[in-house]
Chains A and B, each alone.
Chain A
Amino acid sequence: MAAETAVTRTPPALVETGGGGRVRRTGRLTPYLFLLPYFAVFATFVLAPAVYGLWISLHDWDYLLPGKPFVGLDNYQALFDSNSAVYSFWWESLSATGIFTVLSVPLLLIIPLLLALLLNRSFRGRTFFRAVYFAPYVLGVAVIGVLWRFVLDPNLGVVNSVLGAIGLPGDTPWTTALPWGWVTLVGVTVWWTLGFNAVIYLAGLQDIPRELYEAARIDGGGKWAEFRHVTLPGLRPVLLFVTVNTILVSANMFGQSYLITQGAPGTETRTAIMYIAQVGLSDYKMGSAAAMSYLLTACLLVISVIVFRLFREKDA
């Protein structure tokens, strides 16, 4: 719609400035008309909710009730008050997210880097293998969730029956007990997303000038020195992006727990996002859930800043 407006708007401006022999300028409104459609969606579904959520978190906001009394910071306070109804579930879910993040991030930083180094050579079929390793990522969490739930089913899954058939314990409770639940969730996530990080690393590796490697070779220092003094410094911006992004994605974990362990045992693998969604969108206690999501965002912000600092210190 705004596109049509732009068309009908611009010609008059052209006529005005057209005859003067100067290079034509675009109408003053034109840039805003180009921006308008995106900005309307952006303002409605990103800017507005970011502020609206804060407002909700200051209320006892039950979606199903007409009254939504203002309660100040009570929703936040309740998260730190061990007598409140949400306290133990909230911290349990936050620690589940923490455990998952701490276990999966290092693996998702290192394994994809090794894979990218493996693929960063010239050989036949390179593009093909890169695509194969990336393939699981193309499938959504719903597909990989129900698939691994089946493959790792403690009683009926193929993993346990193969392990049993070759004389290993065939009754590992992959999806129903700890620590196996974490092994499963972390393992599946690494399998699913490592291709994503590997592709980003690979692009970063290809941006490192070859002359640097040649110079390192002349200095003589072997593969390891080359990796430490050329590859790693060359990858620093990419490494920073991958680190921050992987932390954020891990902290967002939802579907794997929802489908594979369903929070089991008990609610021990229920992540913070699962709990927030349940409180806010199943139980409709939106004020409390909004407070939780802002607290989690604050934690992530602090962590991101720390990561940025760490990377900058290495510069000096």
Chain B
Amino acid sequence: MRRVRPIAWYTVLIGLSLVFIAPLVWMLLTAFKTPGEATRVPPTVLPQEPTTGAFDTLLGNSQTPVLRWFLNSVLAATGQAVLVLAVASMAAYALARLDFRGKRLIFGMIIATLFIPSFVLIIPNFLIVDRFGMLDTLWALIIPGAAGAFGVFFLRQFFLSLPRELEEAAVLEGANAWQIFTKVVLPLSKPALATLAVISFLTNWNDFIWPIYVLFSPEQFTLPPGLAILQGAYTINYPVIMAGALVASIPVLLLFMVAQRYVIEGVSRSGLKG
């Protein structure tokens, strides 16, 4: 490795960091300003009269039930992460370790759908979700998304990388496939399961186009379509909109800080599938 001049090196790195972080800090600061101060020219950096007025406005308006949206987002994202872990891990185990007729066909079919752009499915899925009576309910945000191929693909790769010896030992001790799966394979796969859970949670938390069209009543909304409502309702009352954006950002930023390794690991793997 070529030696780098530390001061110049870190100046570049920190300068770049500001590009990514400054807009987020601006969101945070604006949420604590008055509407007038938020758009003052020249702008103030720190709130001159720090206020939680924006949050009071947000919480006081029954047309924009932000706490409810927050709860819905937590339920939908958690529900989908749990569902994905359950169904994808079982399917991935069968595809990685069990022999059966039609295995290659099924796996090929799952892989092929990775190339279907998601927008093609939106209109027919709207009708299918409607048929199941799930329109305008959180189920519409939890169940269809669990059909994604990423989880199966990701866990299959991981299971294939596990040493077979432990499973063979379990077979000799008389364990059946389900016992091997739950007692041997899953405990060995905690990092991969954590990665998939975090990625599913983030993806669901941030989903925008689907909830906009399948949810109608404000109390069923999650945070992303809620933000679109806030933008429409408060137009230039930016502190209120930024307060809403902050509520939507903090959980995922905290999760990212704690699980950074898993998120980045999962994303890197997604590129190596090619």
Contact = CB atoms under 8 A, between A and B. Distances in A.
A130 B123 CA distance: 38
A41 interface: yes
A158 B124 CA distance: 42
A238 B122 contact: no
A202 B264 CA distance: 10
A162 B43 contact: yes
Interface stretch (B46-54, B55-63, B187-195, B244-252): B244-252
Contacts of B21: 132, 135
Interface string B200-227: 0010011111001100000000011101
Contact of A200 (B117, B212, B271): B271
A64 interface: no
Nearest to B181: A34
A172 interface: no
A276 interface: yes
B23 A121 contact: no
B208 A142 contact: yes
Nearest to A273: B119
A158 B26 contact: yes
A34 B256 contact: no
Contact of A138 (B19, B144, B152, B252): B252
Contacts of B128: 44-45, 48-49, 52
Interface residues of A, number: 109
B69 to A, nearest CB: 11
Contacts of A63: 127
A215 interface: no
Interface string B250-274: 0011011100100110011111111
Contact of B20 (A132, A277, A293): A132
A34 to B, nearest CB: 4
Nearest to B271: A200
Contact residues on B (Cβ < 8 Å of other chain), bracket: 35 or more
B13 A129 contact: yes
B8 interface: no
A142 B123 contact: no
Given A32-B100, A254-B208, A258-B228, A38 B91 contact: yes
B71 interface: no
Contact of A53 (B86, B91, B121, B213): B121
Nearest to A137: B267
A22 B261 CA distance: 44
A223 B223 CA distance: 48
Interface string A20-53: 0001101110111011011101101111111011
Contacts of A133: 16-17, 20
Contacts of A24: 171, 174, 176
B35 to A, nearest CB: 10
B197 to A, nearest CB: 15
A39 B268 contact: no
Contact of A143 (B127, B249, B256): B249
B224 A52 contact: no
Interface string A217-233: 00000000000000000
A211 to B, nearest CB: 15
Most chain B CB inside 10 Å of its own CB: which residue of A23, A146, A158, A201: A146
A254 to B, nearest CB: 5
A181 interface: no
A168 interface: no
Contacts of A141: 206, 208, 224
A37 B91 contact: yes
A178 interface: no
B99 to A, nearest CB: 7
B82 interface: no
Contact of A11 (B98, B176, B212, B245): B176
B92 to A, nearest CB: 8
Ranked 3 nearest A-B pairs via Cβ: A140-B206, A200-B271, A203-B268
Given A42-B113, A150-B30, A258-B208, 8 more contacts: A7-B178, A24-B171, A32-B100, A131-B264, A132-B20, A140-B224, A162-B42, A191-B20
Interface of B: 1-2, 4, 9-10, 12-13, 16-17, 19-21, 23-24, 26-27, 30, 38-39, 41-43, 86-88, 90-91, 93-95, 98-100, 103, 106, 109-110, 113, 115-128, 143-144, 146-147, 149, 152, 171-172, 174, 176-178, 181, 202, 205-209, 212-213, 223-225, 227-228, 230-231, 236, 238, 241-242, 244-245, 248-249, 252-253, 255-257, 260, 263-264, 267-274
21 contacts: A10-B177, A31-B94, A31-B100, A37-B91, A48-B124, A49-B124, A52-B124, A53-B123, A118-B13, A125-B10, A132-B20, A139-B24, A150-B242, A153-B238, A156-B38, A162-B42, A199-B271, A238-B271, A254-B119, A255-B209, A258-B228
Interface of A: 2-3, 6-7, 10-11, 13-14, 18, 23-24, 26-28, 30-32, 34-35, 37-39, 41-42, 44-50, 52-53, 56, 63, 115, 118, 121-123, 125, 127, 129-136, 138-143, 145-151, 153, 156, 158, 161-162, 164-165, 191, 195-196, 199-204, 207, 237-238, 240-242, 245, 248, 251-252, 254-255, 258-259, 273, 276-277, 280-282, 286, 289-290, 293-294, 296-297, 300-301, 304
